[in-house]
Structure 1
């Protein structure tokens, strides 16, 4: 546990530890792509988050899909996956990295309310810091302020092995 109130562990965020209701939170892009990074681990464990995300994107003209939005997908009786739209596109290029910190902040703000309603703890990898190209030094304060400071228990998972 750091001074932020966030607990760090080695392990798999798709197998969250502890009892009670849990939400596995992760960052998605705003172009409907699902095929690299943490989402592959989610899809190996449950088909519902990918199917829901693809439908949410496909029907975006009629829903809230967009940067900062969150979709909650129940995958087990006391377990949800939060698909948080926090990156613009999927490529790093002339316009910089895909991560959008303001969108992650908005999504975490929404997640804090939902986690409180459910009485749930939140579990995540270092969101926005893999393929999205973000820096944990920028994301951690958002997680601390929006979740941990509001009394939502947060566990961040670092995978074992190279590049983890």
Structure 2
């Protein structure tokens, strides 16, 4: 199975059945720039639950995923895949590829459980500073090679 690339809005996932929208969050509880704003404009629940999760501290760490049901068949996956929000002292971007790999395994398990397709923007390539040529193989390994239908949206 291949990744499908389409022009469109990842907050309006195409197709029928259950859908999981994946996006990358940071590990410091910040929510306020990038794709999260499009999510917040559509549904208040992912931000509210992410902030509550951060506040509770329970299992809130790199590589973990929080699934938030936003409609009868759409879930948002808050995947913690970036450390802080700025480059570190060595100039490395906030992206953490291992955390994305770990989180996408959790997404794959949930997609299988729900018989859901997975939808996302080019995760990790905006504010997190990641490179698509690093992220795409992780998506293939964790999702499409597990026969999970995956669509990437270019806005």
Q: Normalising by structure 2, report the TM-score.
A: 0.98
Runs of 4+ in 1 over 6 A off after TM superposition: none
Of the candidates 80, 83, 88, which is equivalent to residue 83 of structure 2?
Answer: 88
Find the counterpart in structure 1 of residue 73 from structure 2: 78
Deviation string 1:45-80 (CA, Å, 9 cap, x unpaired) is 0000000000000000xx111000000000000110
Q: Distance in 2 between matches of 1:84 and 1:97?
A: 17
Find the counterpart in structure 2 of residue 15 from structure 1: 12
Deviation string 1:108-152 (CA, Å, 9 cap, x unpaired) is 011100000000000000001100000000000000010000010
Q: Give how far 1:84 is off.
A: 0.1
Q: How does 1:54-69 map to 2 (within 5 A)?
A: 54-60=51-57, 63-69=58-64
Deviation string 1:73-102 (CA, Å, 9 cap, x unpaired) is 000001100000000000124231000000
Count residues in correspondence: 154
Find the counterpart in structure 1 of residue 124 from structure 2: 128
Of the candidates 91, 94, 98, which is equivalent to residue 98 of structure 1?
Answer: 94
Alignment of 1:44 onto 2:41: yes
After superposition, the CA RMSD in angstroms is 0.8
Q: Distance in 2 between matches of 1:65 and 1:114?
A: 18
- The answer for unaligned runs of 5 or more in structure 1 is 160-164
Q: Give how far 1:27 is off.
A: 0.4
Alignment of 1:113 onto 2:127: no
